[in-house]
Structure 1
Amino acid sequence: MSAAIGYGLPATIGSAALYGVAPLVQAKAARREDAGRGLGLGLLARLVRRPLWLAGLAVETAAFLLEVYALSVAPVALVGPVMALDMIVFTLLAGHALREHLSHAGAAAICLMVAGVALLAYAFARHGGVGSMASTKVLLLFLSTGLVFALLAALGANRAALGGRVATAAFLFGVAAGVAYAIATLATRQFGLALDERRSSGDPIASYVFDLLSGPAFYLLIVFSVLAIGLEQRGLQGQAAVIAFPVTSGISAFLPVVLGLTLFDEPVPTGPHLVAFVAALVLIAAGIAGLARDRVAAVAEGDGQSAGMPRPGGTRRADGTPATKA
């Protein structure tokens, strides 16, 4: 058994579980605030004063640390798709909070995702190489193109929100947040690979920290994590928040896979392992789509509030913003 499966896979599953819990906590705090604008940075500035939202951030921090470790022993082509399991945790906990029963379609979607993870474990059982680190030039390219994309997507999402196209706005916020999270994952991958190098050479942790602070990966992580969180909170505010989360989850899971295999020399499984890898990606993607459809159906059958989010306290205006802040 490779280190990627023996150590990386359990760490990734633990990270995904924590990432699935955090949005539920953060969404409850976000929906108690007035609607955000732009990239959601103003909303984020208000949320950091809320203990409930900070609790969700603490959960995300723990998830991040597990993700760094996972990426130090496993390729992003394995870690990225498994991180999509956060949707299962998110869906099950949200359903429990709202006392909803998971539909047969939703249960089937979860089974597809679990089967996909099992196939990934087989695909990387003997192919657990972590590939090469990204160059500074590539990281700066991600920085520039990612910022432009986030700005354009946020502009389109804000226009859609002002025009009353709630689902379109949630989708665009989800896309923008997903891309930002994907770039943050690539920066996290740099941390994981650097940790792996230090662990192999026996260099002190101080050297590891200095290298991180002196390179662009740390700042890339900060910029795109803040952008991703702000954009995600904007998507979580609306009544179509149930759309934003699966879009964010899907893009942030699969974009790093494509980049890892094409730009960072991660080894591709061969023979039957390659077949299992492709089948796993298809099953996980189908599971994400199935869970998203299940949540959208729950919204349509509900009382007009997001079925994928816990209902915050207090009354709400017709536009979905709180009449009184908590």
Structure 2
Amino acid sequence: MIAAGLAVLAAASNALASVLQRRAARTAPPDRAFRLGLITYLIRRPAWLGGIGALIGGFLFQAAALSFGGLSLVQPILVVELPFTMMFIGSLLGVKVDRRAWLAVGVLTAGLATLLLAAGPSEGHRVPSRMDWAIATLVTVGILAGLLTAALVVTGAARAVILGLSAGLGFSFTAALMKQSVTELAGRPSTVLTTWPVYGMVLAGLVSLFLLQNAFQSGTLVAVQPALTVSDPVASIGYGVGLFGETIRLGFWSVLELMAIGLIVYGSARLAQSAPLRPDKDVMAAEH
């Protein structure tokens, strides 16, 4: 229960970060996409800096959650980030949350509950070897390379979706490295500056953050947020099982798990199309 509560707090912090970062990123000039100039532009925006502060808070809550529970439990709970995103846009920008939006929240929540109940994730006690991490890194980098290649040849909403998927995968890999880091540091706190997963986690997190900023610049939350919100927990279950020996139920339960993922995708998509997340509505409200 402690891990679940901390994961919810992490989701709320990440949602606030997404709203503030997108508010700043959507005003960036198009010619700064995929350039470090995008970051130098954003760092001068107070809203973006506030988003970074919220992101750091989410990072700390997530690290604490992973110290109490496995990836297969903690990361799926982070899908509640999307309802929190809706609520923050509604409260910060004064956009009314309608009944259809709350219905979408109900569908998403039902999907999450079904996924967790069907999968029955249990924490593993396997310690990944360096070879395990090498394989996981190669697979992750290969998938990201394919996604980024596709993102470079498309524009608009399609690019935003692909970059959202890329950022979700990146944050999932970051969470796996975070899990390894908190496990090692729990036994040897004095080795914080000499433990390689810590540096890998920082690098993966920065790359994922860069991808996320480009996703927000490329399209609206309608395109970005569902792709980001769904890809992270799904990939994290794979990392949890493959690296840490976490277990989920398969067989007949797989049918329910696939149905649950379908509910999460549908609820996320419907929620992203609701009034608080409607294309550019939050941006227009912020600019007036």
Output the TM-score relative to the length of structure 2: 0.84
Shift of the alpha carbon at 1:39? Answer: 3.8
Do the aligned residues in 2 keep the contact of 1:23 with 1:56 (CA within 8 Å)? Answer: yes
Query: Which position in structure 1 is the counterpart of 2:43?
Result: 48
Which has more helix, going by share of residues?
A: 2
Shift of the alpha carbon at 1:182? Answer: 1.4
**What percentage of residue pairs aligned between the two structures are identical?**
21
Query: Which position in structure 1 is the counterpart of 2:137?
Result: 143
Alignment equivalent of 1:306, drawn from 277, 280, 283: 280
Aligned residue for 2:127, secondary structure, equals coil
Query: Which position in structure 1 is the counterpart of 2:95?
Result: 99
Matched ranges for 1:199-210 at <5 A: 203=188, 205-207=189-191, 209-210=192-193
Shift of the alpha carbon at 1:229? Answer: 1.2
Which string of whole-angstrom CA distances, capped at 9 and with x for unpartnered residues, describes residues 46-85 of structure 1?
A: 3233332121111111111111111111111111110111
- Stretches of structure 1 that go unaligned for 5 or more consecutive residues are 315-326
Alignment equivalent of 2:157, drawn from 167, 180, 190: 167
Shift of the alpha carbon at 1:177? Answer: 1.1
User: Could you tell me how far apart the structure 1 residues matched to 2:247 and 2:172 are?
Assistant: 20
Do the aligned residues in 2 keep the contact of 1:32 with 1:312 (CA within 8 Å)? Answer: no
Shift of the alpha carbon at 1:102? Answer: 2.9
Q: What value does the CA root-mean-square deviation take over the aligned residues?
A: 3.1
User: Could you tell me how far apart the structure 2 residues matched to 1:310 and 1:45 are?
Assistant: 23
Kindly provide the amino acid, as one letter, of the partner of residue 267 in structure 2: G
Which string of whole-angstrom CA distances, capped at 9 and with x for unpartnered residues, describes residues 134-189 of structure 1?
A: 2222323333443343344233223212xxxx121111111211111111111111
Query: Which position in structure 1 is the counterpart of 2:264?
Result: 287
Task: Give runs of ≥4 in structure 1 deviating > 6 Å.
Answer: none
Pair member with larger Rg: 1
Do the aligned residues in 1 keep the contact of 2:21 with 2:47 (CA within 8 Å)? Answer: yes
- Stretches of structure 2 that go unaligned for 5 or more consecutive residues are none
Matched ranges for 1:9-24 at <5 A: 9-24=4-19
Which string of whole-angstrom CA distances, capped at 9 and with x for unpartnered residues, describes residues 228-270 of structure 1?
A: 1111111112443421121011101111112212342113359
Query: Which position in structure 2 is the counterpart of 1:214?
Result: 195
User: Would you say how many aligned residue pairs link Structure 1 and Structure 2?
Assistant: 287
Kindly provide the amino acid, as one letter, of the partner of residue 245 in structure 1: Q
User: Could you tell me how far apart the structure 1 residues matched to 2:114 and 2:140 are?
Assistant: 31
Shift of the alpha carbon at 1:282? Answer: 3.9
User: Could you tell me how far apart the structure 2 residues matched to 1:82 and 1:35 are?
Assistant: 34
User: Could you tell me how far apart the structure 2 residues matched to 1:47 and 1:186 are?
Assistant: 28
Aligned residue for 1:11, secondary structure, equals helix
Do the aligned residues in 2 keep the contact of 1:236 with 1:242 (CA within 8 Å)? Answer: no
User: Could you tell me how far apart the structure 2 residues matched to 1:45 and 1:278 are?
Assistant: 47
User: Could you tell me how far apart the structure 2 residues matched to 1:309 and 1:247 are?
Assistant: 20
User: Could you tell me how far apart the structure 2 residues matched to 1:262 and 1:239 are?
Assistant: 33
Alignment equivalent of 2:81, drawn from 62, 86, 106: 86
User: Could you tell me how far apart the structure 1 residues matched to 2:213 and 2:125 are?
Assistant: 33
Confirm or deny that 1:153 pairs with 2:147.
yes
User: Could you tell me how far apart the structure 2 residues matched to 1:248 and 1:150 are?
Assistant: 14
Query: Which position in structure 1 is the counterpart of 2:178?
Result: 188
Aligned residue for 1:160, secondary structure, equals coil
